[in-house]
A and B are shown apart, each in its own frame.
Chain A
Amino acid sequence: MIPQDHTPLIIRGARVIDPASGRDEAKADIFIKDGVFVEKLSASEQASARVVDAKNLILAPGFIDLNCRLGEPGRSARETFRTGTQAAAIGGFTTVVTMPDSLPAADSVGTIQLIRELSQRDATVRVLPAGTLTKSHEGKALAPLGSLQKAGVVAVTDTTSGVQNNEIMRRALEYATMFNLVVLDHCQDSSMTENAQMHEGAWSLRLGLRGWPRAAEEIVVSSDCVLAGLTKARIHLQHLSSGGSAEIVRRAKATKASVTAEVSALHLLLTDAALANYDTRLKLNPPLREESDRLALIAALVDGTIDAICSDHSPCTSTEKDCEFDLAPFGAASLETAFAAAYEAIVVAGHADIKLLIARLTTGPAKALGLNAGTLRHGEPADFVLINPEANWKFTAEKKLSKSGNNPLTGRTFKAQIHSTFVGGRCICQDGKIA
């Protein structure tokens, strides 16, 4: 439950960055009343207002994550709505879109209602469910997209199952256009990735692990771009991992195809070389690829080919990952570190400034899904973050709020940190702790 805070709030002296309006002010005061941004407060409101000194901090809209899993329903050993949304808040995310591959899958109105109830009861940030595109994300029969949308889904996707049949994908996209529902697609031709464990390249050959070629992703990225042209449906390509995929999207966007794309923070930061010690926490779907891919993804993010950075938070218990590499499930926990990791990869490395990074965490994802979020505009809900760009902090297992045990960046030191996160004008967390 996200209660409203009626006490007026003044955030004083932060550098204010709002990509939606192009605003970047070195020092400004931000006013909040009844949970929304306001232009100013009356004298009496100012007198009673709570004042937050935000000197040396950056104030930005709360981040939007288009790709995460919160364990429930069905996998509460991995994560719960409470722990998952607390992790999101710590990481600066105030709106998260949950993937529908829960148990049961989010392919019916009843399950969406359950997710909304869990969210009402336990969530500290805004949870927007995605529904499946086909029943049980099996890629065979269409899910009831119209009813799912009425029940509250903001997008539909078969997530990591992907839709392997082009005819079904085409009809699903066509059907989704009726509801102007964005289809999120995980691009993987499964026929090319049987038993694949990591990126196919020099490292997979050295480690003796079955390779997952770039082509398995690029083929589906290509077919999605073609089908977007055919059906006029809106397709959002999930967590791209290959430089070739980015190039295909760049060309499709040049022809005004209705496609958008995202990349995970881990793919911006790491490569397949990080798997040299068989760290199962880095067994990801899609896999970490080579340095040339990483740099191409960063370039695509900077030039706008890729619209959004996602966490791709896929919590697992540490026991699930404590096994032979072949047997470990895919995915990493990352909500708490996604922003810090992306900041390292983009800003610290000098590829772009923090304004661009914030845009790809706010306006980028908001536009991709048509969400009314990710801005400091007056009258909008006061979802925002304060960022300390010089925190130099270490993410440790003791600090983590996520229930999962598979954040591969545990023990790593980062420059920037989320100082505090506000949802609806209420402080959710501060200095790495839930408020």
Chain B
Amino acid sequence: MVLTFVRANGKNRMAQQLTWTKKDLTGIEGLSRAEIEFLFSQADQFLPALAPGKGLDLMRGRTVVNLFLEPSTRTCTAFEISAKKLGAEVVSINTTASSLVKGETLRDTAMNIRAMGVDAIVMRHSSAGAARYLGEALDISVINAGDGAHEHPTQALLDAFTLKQRFGKVEGLKVTILGDILFSRVARSNILCLSKLGAQVTLAGPATLVPASLAEAFPQVRIVHDLKTALSDADAVMLLRIQHERQTTTHFPSLNEYTSQFGINASRAAWMKPNAIIMHPGPINRGVEVDSDVADGPRSVILEQVRNGVAVRMAVLHLCTGCINR
């Protein structure tokens, strides 16, 4: 599918034609800056369709399967609504209903779903690399809704889209990602996405969850373990959920200890620049990584993120399923 978009390029506005060639979205890693910006322009066009009673029929007659092999409410629902807003049929499969618990391989499960005439599979899986594996195995679209501690590309896209909406552009912004970086797919996708768009990323949190070796993996980022430094020059602070289910007890002593060192309360939020914002991919552990008055306060853009998440996922579904010749 060929769509055109217009990008401001220095003094001249230059029309560029971009052909979306990716049937899958498995990670931010494989996307170019132009593709990300193109996707944002597409998402912009979908924003009006989010109003109640509105919807489009760009995917009428198509079927999307949500294959969620790890618990999720927000992402699964957001994908379901995105597909429905585009007029697609949606079937959601959750872990307990999955035949994978009966010992069927992922390839077999996916081949069976494909054989039923599905256009796209949105998958969440506990294993890093699972979405890529599935994308290579199938000739239909595979959208990664989170693969282990690897990537969660639509979360990073909606985060950057929200930053762009707030600040006009992402280029030059200072963004701090705070919390459990080691086990976080959201952090990985955001590091890649924000760097591609020209933001400066700071990673902060306990040394066990923000190891110094992250600087080797992502040379473009700054790593700090001091909260005040992490907060004071940031335009945006992304809080990550402290994920009890992923951490072994060795990575930090207790939730209380975490909160006392890195939790964001009103007095710590005051360290931030006046117009700096607070973001969170959800679900929030209120009182752990962030206090309620901050999460619900004027700096918080958490609900804007959720809303933008639908538009961004509409763009992803539309572009990826649209590029397959049929």
Contacts and interface: CB of A to CB of B under 8 A. Distances in A.
Q: Do A and B bind each other?
A: yes
Size category of the A interface is 20 to 34
A96 B97 CA distance: 48
B213 A208 contact: no
B129 interface: yes
A203 B214 CA distance: 10
Contact of B151 (A203, A208, A209): A208
Contact of B128 (A200, A207, A277): A207
A203 to B, nearest CB: 7
Interface string A198-221: 001111011111100000000000
A194 B248 CA distance: 10
Contact of B216 (A202, A326, A327): A202
A291 interface: no
Contact of A208 (B107, B150, B214): B150
A278 B217 contact: no
Nearest to A204: B217
A244 to B, nearest CB: 15
A103 interface: no
Contacts of B125: 324
Contacts of A322: 105, 107
A324 B106 contact: yes
B194 interface: no
B313 interface: no
B148 interface: yes
Contact of B127 (A194, A201, A205, A326): A326
Nearest to A325: B129
Contacts, number: 65
A208 B128 contact: yes
Given A202-B217, A322-B105, A278 B132 contact: yes
B106 A326 contact: no
A230 interface: no
Given A208-B148, A208-B151, A208-B188, A324 B129 contact: yes
Which of A194, A201, A209 neighbours the largest number of chain B CB atoms within 10 Å of its CB?
A209
Nearest to A200: B213
Nearest to A290: B216
A205 B216 CA distance: 9
A278 B128 contact: yes
A226 interface: no
A51 interface: no
Interface residues of B, number: 26
Given A208-B128, A278-B129, A201 B149 contact: no
B133 interface: yes
B129 A207 contact: yes
B216 A201 contact: yes
Interface in A294-352: 322-327
Interface string B145-172: 0011111000000000000000000000
A209 B213 CA distance: 14
A291 B27 CA distance: 26
A327 B106 CA distance: 11
Contacts of A197: 128
Nearest to B215: A202
Interface string B246-268: 00100000000000000000000
DSSP class of A's interface residues: helix, strand, loop or mixed?
A: loop
A325 B130 CA distance: 7
Nearest to B132: A278
A202 B248 CA distance: 21
B310 to A, nearest CB: 26
A98 B6 CA distance: 65
A209 B126 CA distance: 11
Contact of B130 (A200, A203, A324): A324
B85 interface: no
A194 B148 CA distance: 16
Contacts of B129: 207-209, 278, 324-325
Contacts of B182: 205
Interface in B101-144: 105-107, 125-130, 132-133
B24 to A, nearest CB: 14
B185 interface: yes
Interface in A184-206: 194, 197, 200-203, 205-206
B150 A324 contact: no
Interface in B168-182: 182
A326 B217 contact: no
B213 A201 contact: yes
B127 A327 contact: yes
A325 B107 contact: no
Nearest to B134: A324
Given A201-B213, A278-B133, A209 B128 contact: yes
Contacts of A203: 217
Contacts of B127: 324-327
A292 to B, nearest CB: 12
B212 to A, nearest CB: 11
Contacts of A207: 128-129, 150
B282 to A, nearest CB: 20
Interface in B47-68: none
Nearest to B219: A202
A278 to B, nearest CB: 4
A30 to B, nearest CB: 50
Contacts of B107: 322-323
Contact of B213 (A202, A278, A327): A202
Given A206-B217, A324-B127, 6 more contacts: A202-B216, A205-B182, A208-B129, A323-B105, A325-B128, A326-B127
